[in-house]
Structure 1
Amino acid sequence: MTNKPLAFRMRPTHIDEIVGQSHLVGEGKIIKRMVDARMLSSMILYGPPGIGKTSIASAIAGSTKYAFRMLNAATDSKKDLQIVAEEAKMSGSVILMLDEVHRLDKPKQDFLLPHLENGRIILIGATTENPYIAINPAVRSRAQIFELKPLSIEEIKMAMERALKDASNGLGEYQVDIDEPALLHFARATNGDLRSALNSLELAVKSTRPDSEGVIHIPLEVSEECVQRKALTHDKDGDAHYDVISALQKSVRGSDVNAALHYLGRLIEAGDLPIIARRLMVIAYEDIGLANPGACSRTVTAIQAAERIGFPEARIPLANIVIDLCLSPKSNSSISAIDAAINDIRNGKSGDVPDHLKDSHYSGASKLGRGVDYKYPHSYPGAWVDQQYLPDKLKNARYFDPNHTGKYEDVLAAQYDAINKKKKK
């Protein structure tokens, strides 16, 4: 038992013990409903590593008392599948957790399909790949597909605190005094990967000598060493993590290259590539937007390059794009436009879709007036014809207000003005 990693020992044995994924296992949600009704069907769970795919499978088995077997589609053989199938014939049903299900080859797949069809094997496939692309349609059609989300910092902290108190499977036999910044760093630096957080915590506890009273003290420096990432700050609540992210975006928005590079450097030193990637894409589309659409595309390309090559070299494409975004013309017209439209909707300003725009691709649509009198723009000069598109209550609404901060947006603004002039005529 002691040789098994903490993350393995702390796997839930019941559906109610699962940390996170409340959109699937919370009260009234789909997987919880399946378990409560004992109406399990094959499923594919996909998402980043360490977020609970295997935990959900083992918890389902523990909650339903079905036999539970684990195999790997890449390394286990067809014979291993045959053994599971024979067991299913004798016991009635077996839950098969099949890791890396996207690596299932055709002979294994052909053997497995009839057993999925008759329900003897309840497949829970796990993959980090997009199943709509990576998994064979024959398998996909016989399973429900559920996307798992990275765990929040609070969820990871809760799981670590549970492990520290659990004397049978966790670290409860040790007297551990962990500083709040250290606990926060374990939760944050692992980017939603609970397995990594728990195993790093165990390393910290077991590799730190207790003091004269037998207490193991875990400060921030120990957590930094065990996850091999520096914290951005030693402040108690960890607010500076978000402060630095905010400062990066505001420095780019304010066209201050040197400040933006400074804050980028702090995030690089913390090893926060996922955070950097997400924030830079937000910056590109929120703050540069239509003023320079090419910069938005270059941001995506730079992030892909950074993710592929990893640190330390990832700093090079990241620096390139931060400089590019800083010195680019800026426009927030797109976010302002969509927020204005959403604000109207939330305030009840909506209305019926005009009849001539409604779907007409079904029998009887014309009798209901659906799609009647719709004017097909491509049949008119300039591919434009005057007709109402917004609901009656909003027919004069105007959301888009060009900023005129870049050549591309100027072209769009000119086209927008020309169309509005035609409407007035």
Structure 2
Amino acid sequence: MQQPLAYRMRPTSIEEVVGQQHLVGEGKIINRMVKAKMLSSMILYGPPGTGKTSIASAIAGSTKYAFRKLNAATDSKKDLQIVAEEAKMSGTVILLLDEIHRLDKVKQDFLLPLLESGQVILIGATTENPYISINPAIRSRTQIFEVHPISPDDLKEAVHRALTDKERGLGSTPIELSSEALNFLSQATNGDLRSALNGLELAVRSTTPNDEGVVEIPLSVIEECVQRKALTQDKDGDAHYDVISAFQKSIRGSDVNAALHYMGRLIEGGDLQSISRRLMVIAYEDVGMANLAACSRTVEAVTAANKLGFPEARIPLADAVIELCLSPKSNSGMAAIDAALSDIRSGLSGDIPNHLKDAHYSGAKKLGHGTTYKYPHAYPNDWVKQQYLPDRLVGTKYYEPKQTSKFERAYGERYQALNDAQNK
């Protein structure tokens, strides 16, 4: 039985890795580790199909170390023992441990000494946030790197490589992939290279060659093979971003029906990731201080949607869209932090006042750090007049409250009262 195209096209060296250039690009951390042969154990986390296994395989290929792959959930301690024995006999072994967030204590305790000695270089792979889901004992012995969905341009490059590679790819078959199909394939798979290559291979294997022996792959065939409709795409791929833009602007403009329409296009394209990210951005960028409870409920809706998956995910997403559309709007939070960042980036910062500096170490008192700090909870109303900004920024105001909702009006009144008391 022939191995799947996505498996065959896995990189054999670090230079072949598609995407993730913030980690494997020239001069970046994993690239440097490989070149110096100074590997440390690591955890790679991110969505499926974004190259976690490929990076591990490429590291092994570039360093010529033995490479083994296990699953933390389904493989036993005995399987780990076999890897450990191999490491003792032949030297360093790179172990890709998939679903590392499901590693139990017995396996963990067996692994820890191997990581300490460097006999095993662990590369853990997970779709879960390791800072929440992985035991601190493992985290403290690994570096944690986030991998991102692969960009459409990188996906196109990977598809082109698969179409032209005669040894591992489809290069021995004459194939004509239309530009519309290529654009759609690079967008509709949402940065998942495995899905893109699986869809491409199915399209090629299931299409009868024409009279000249060429396999022609139009948009309709790719749509069928990846089970997505090209409602968010156009010839140049720009319409995908146009839909996302229209989605946000419709919510910002409080048009419920338009917002539901554009989200419907994204749902039909299976693009849960774009919807989730955009809704959380919209909540805090466009509603923000006007209705922080709606922001929290949007995060809850997105979390529920990602746990449910489509088709049920459409329900909490629709609830969130309707609430965000009908909520009062304010961008004052975003404007405030952008104003603060502008000062910092232009060199307007200054020394932190001594009474605010850390005083929890030996010698801090001699430096005058924290000695005159006033603890607000020791005063009436849990507040006391005290300078917090650096000297050169005293009196600077970044936050400008809006009057669009009763919530922000209340915050604004409190903000003004505190400013007045501070300036007396």
- In 1, the alpha carbon distance for the partners of 2:67 and 2:266 equals 43
Judge conservation of contact 1:353–1:391 (CA < 8 Å) in 2.
Answer: yes
Query: What is the match of residue 293 of structure 2?
Result: 294
Task: Provide closer, same or farther for how the CA distance between residues 399 and 113 of structure 1 changes in structure 2, counting only shifts above 3 A.
Answer: closer
- In 1, the alpha carbon distance for the partners of 2:346 and 2:142 equals 40
- In 2, the alpha carbon distance for the partners of 1:422 and 1:75 equals 62
Query: What is the match of residue 99 of structure 2?
Result: 100
- In 1, the alpha carbon distance for the partners of 2:232 and 2:371 equals 63
Deviations 1:133-160 (A, max 9, x none): 3333333333322222221121111111
Letter aligned with residue 145 of structure 1: I
Report how many aligned residue pairs link the two structures: 424
- In 1, the alpha carbon distance for the partners of 2:379 and 2:110 equals 57
Letter aligned with residue 322 of structure 1: V
Letter aligned with residue 198 of structure 2: N
Task: Provide closer, same or farther for how the CA distance between residues 92 and 306 of structure 1 changes in structure 2, counting only shifts above 3 A.
Answer: closer
Which stretch of the first structure deviates more once superposed, 403-412 or 144-153? 144-153
- Secondary structure (helix, strand or coil) at the match of 2:215 reads strand
Judge conservation of contact 1:220–1:234 (CA < 8 Å) in 2.
Answer: no
Structure 1 consecutive aligned stretches of length 4 or more whose deviation exceeds 4 Å? none
- Secondary structure (helix, strand or coil) at the match of 2:230 reads coil
Residue 118 (structure 1) shift: 2.1
- In 1, the alpha carbon distance for the partners of 2:263 and 2:40 equals 46
Judge conservation of contact 1:378–1:384 (CA < 8 Å) in 2.
Answer: yes
Judge conservation of contact 2:184–2:233 (CA < 8 Å) in 1.
Answer: no
Q: CA RMSD in A?
A: 1.8
Judge conservation of contact 2:232–2:243 (CA < 8 Å) in 1.
Answer: no
Gaps of 5+ in 2: none
Query: What is the match of residue 78 of structure 1?
Result: 77
Task: Provide closer, same or farther for how the CA distance between residues 293 and 34 of structure 1 changes in structure 2, counting only shifts above 3 A.
Answer: same
What is the correspondence of 1:20-419 to structure 2 with a 5 Å cutoff? 20-233=19-232, 235-419=234-418
- In 1, the alpha carbon distance for the partners of 2:31 and 2:236 equals 34
Residue 21 (structure 1) shift: 1.7
Question: TM-score if structure 1 supplies the norm length?
Answer: 0.95
Residue 74 (structure 1) shift: 2.2
Task: Provide closer, same or farther for how the CA distance between residues 142 and 253 of structure 1 changes in structure 2, counting only shifts above 3 A.
Answer: closer
Judge conservation of contact 2:60–2:66 (CA < 8 Å) in 1.
Answer: yes
- In 2, the alpha carbon distance for the partners of 1:274 and 1:180 equals 24
Task: Provide closer, same or farther for how the CA distance between residues 113 and 376 of structure 1 changes in structure 2, counting only shifts above 3 A.
Answer: closer
Query: What is the match of residue 419 of structure 2?
Result: 420
- In 1, the alpha carbon distance for the partners of 2:121 and 2:137 equals 15
Residue 84 (structure 1) shift: 2.0
- In 2, the alpha carbon distance for the partners of 1:72 and 1:138 equals 19
Question: TM-score if structure 2 supplies the norm length?
Answer: 0.95
Task: Provide closer, same or farther for how the CA distance between residues 233 and 417 of structure 1 changes in structure 2, counting only shifts above 3 A.
Answer: closer
Residue 233 (structure 1) shift: 4.6
- In 1, the alpha carbon distance for the partners of 2:361 and 2:197 equals 55
Identity of aligned residues (%): 71
Residue 202 (structure 1) shift: 1.1
- In 2, the alpha carbon distance for the partners of 1:90 and 1:313 equals 52
Judge conservation of contact 1:355–1:369 (CA < 8 Å) in 2.
Answer: yes
Residue 128 (structure 1) shift: 1.8
Gaps of 5+ in 1: none
Deviations 1:94-131 (A, max 9, x none): 22222222333333333333332322222222222222
Residue 329 (structure 1) shift: 1.0
Letter aligned with residue 236 of structure 2: D
Letter aligned with residue 88 of structure 2: K
- Secondary structure (helix, strand or coil) at the match of 1:20 reads coil
- Secondary structure (helix, strand or coil) at the match of 1:50 reads coil
- In 1, the alpha carbon distance for the partners of 2:257 and 2:105 equals 55
- In 1, the alpha carbon distance for the partners of 2:133 and 2:325 equals 37
Residue 415 (structure 1) shift: 0.4
Task: Provide closer, same or farther for how the CA distance between residues 377 and 58 of structure 1 changes in structure 2, counting only shifts above 3 A.
Answer: same
